Amino acid sequence: MRHLVLLALLTACSPAEPPAEPAAPGPQAQPAAPEAPAPAAKADAGEGARVQEEGRVAPRMQKAEAEEKARSSGILGAKEDAGDGIGGLIGTRGTALGSGGLGTRGVGLGGGGIATSYGMGRGASGYGKGGGSFGSAAPRVAERYTDYGINRVTLTADDRLSTFSIDVDTASYAIARSHLQRGQLPPTAAVRVEEMVNAQTYTYPPPDGEAPFAVSMEVAPDPWHDGHHILRVGVQAAQPEIDRLPVHLTFLVDTSGSMRASNKLPLARRALKELVANLDDEDRVAIATYAGSTGIALNPTRVGDGRQAIVAALDGLEHGGGTNMGSGMQLAYDMALATYEPGTENRVIVLSDGDANIGRTSHEQILKSLAGYAKKGITLSTIGFGNGNYNDTMMEQLANKGDGNYYYIDSFAEARKVFGEKLTATVQTVARDVKIQVDMDPGSVISYRLIGYENRDIADADFRNDAVDAGEIGSGHTVTALYDLVLRDDPAEDLSTVRIRSKAPGPDAPSVERATRLPSLAVRTSFATATPDFRVAIGTAAFAEKLRGSPWADELPWSEIADTVRSAGRSGDAELVGLVETAGRLRAGDLAVR
């Protein structure tokens, strides 16, 4: 009876308006003088004009915030990041324990179900699959992800600057694909929009001269939301035609008992063999392992002289024991430091499911003990494997703090992509500590929302603070960022200016800043005239927004998202279209159960 009363209260308290909408990406840019100081936000034309502008944006903001509050607190249930909270009476969509009197379609177990971290049951009310009173218990899964929230709309009159660290990681797309191909919707916190978007292939103009990258921009109307436009900022890293410099790679392989599954250590061995097959003779490889203890499987070896020895060392890796990641990291860095050579890429590559249960177990503890290696020129990349106990938070943050990149390998085809097709971008850095600051002209832009990059936010005041760490970009990498914009009817000359600040690879390099202007005349008149790459980026962003439960995408039909990608007419997007359609079927089935 109490549940019926609460349901009546919930119905009475529900917002009358539907949740707000999602976003997608977006005309070409012209260079501007570098180092130009960001202008201060100018006062609005008056209180009346300001109220009118806010009126065009506020309803969408209010809907999104109301939806977020409904998911996060009150009688709809508490949304906890650490996986140790108790869901509310109506259940939870967050990362809390999946209890809850009636459950929802979140990643927690359904009504009455109790499981820590991310139980993968669908939690469809009391009769659902998530271990409810009348449902069958779903397997308890301790995958660990962090929910970084969803960016809110910002009025340009209040803050015209959007500042964030570059991100070339693609792990989130592979993780989502892995879940969908197993017939499961991925945990919402596993979906990072920027990684989903950056996992797709785009063709941007290359940089001129010796610049490490070029910036191009495109703006077109939002295909789903009247009165909104999407800005796409595309960054293309240089890809020198000369042979790349030698790399010194230290593989740190997790050989603990948790790595026994076929999609873990066996796949990691196969992936590393693919990498070795694509390395040059002058490259060097070393292999360290960690389980309950650490060990050296291969001392630094020149690839040209030792391919067979490297492969033999990989074949000899066996699983067993606990997971002392902290000691393993220390050993790998010590090995990399002992053979450090200026002018080459010196990198530690961790291959693991991210589990750590001996010694220092959090990425904060591990990174605290290893602080300073990136500043010395030794970078850290992480390659994730497996599911069930996978610790995405650990692997992503290690790569972020280690000045490297983060990939997730769910198949040998993905291993070939990372260690074959994209090998140079994977192991060769062209710029580090790359920060982006987009300056929206208040005379053209009323409001904006950065779609994704929630955990890459940098304070505007720290854009030129070179002590603040940021992301790295490899040879030939592309990076895409998307903004949802509300534009003025009569815009000023420029829409925005993009400033990128970065350092050359290696230790102690000075920062260089470059700027690119986007004139308002470059805005396209219709979505149909946008480039195929633009349309695919928008479709991918909408897909990611739907998967992560963004209130900005709740009402978007899965079929229209798939059609947006399909209609771009690019070859190679069949997998993406298929994943969108699979997600739609899974969500439809989930709702049918409820």
Please provide the average confidence, as pLDDT, over all residues in the chain: 80
pLDDT value of residue 126:
31
Cα separation, 420 vs 408, whole angstroms: 15
Q: Report the 3 state secondary structure along 185-210.
A: CCCHHHCCHHHHHHCCCCCCCCCCCC
pLDDT of residue 425: 83
Which of 169-178, 361-370, 486-495 shows the lowest per-residue confidence on average (mean pLDDT)? 361-370
Label residue 334 by pLDDT band (50, 70, 90): very high
**Structural contact between residues 327 and 362, judged by C-beta atoms closer than 8 angstroms:** no
Element (H, E) at 439: strand 429-440
Query: CB count, 10 Å around CB of 148?
Result: 16
68 pLDDT higher than 60: no
- The answer, yes or no, to whether residue 479 has pLDDT greater than 70, is yes
Tell me the whole-structure pTM to 2 decimals.
0.79
Q: Which of 146, 170, 196 is nearest to 407 (CA)?
A: 170
**CATH class held by domain 247-401:** alpha beta
Write the DSSP assignment of 315-343 as a string of letters: HT----S---HHHHHHHHHHHHHHT--TT
CB 123 within 8 A of CB 108: yes
Task: From 511, 212, 251, 506, select the one nearest 374 (Cα to Cα).
Answer: 506
Task: Choose between 152 and 86: higher pLDDT.
Answer: 152
Domain boundaries, the chain: 72-142, 150-240+430-537, 247-401
Does 2.60.40.1230 match the CATH number of domain 150-240+430-537? yes
Half-sphere exposure of 173 (CA within 13 A, CB side): 22
Q: Look at 77-86, 231-240, 395-404 and tell me which has the smallest mean pLDDT.
A: 77-86
- Tell me what the mean pLDDT of segment 563-585 comes to: 97
CA distances from 307 to 164, 313, 314 (A): 41, 10, 11
Residue 410 zone, left/alpha/beta (φ > 0; ψ -120 to 50; rest) = alpha
Cα(141)–Cα(117) distance, rounded to whole angstroms?
7
User: Whole-angstrom Cα distance, residue 67 to residue 61?
Assistant: 10
Residue from 83, 11, 21, 35 nearest 499 by CA: 35
Give the C-alpha separation, 61 to 421, whole Å: 42
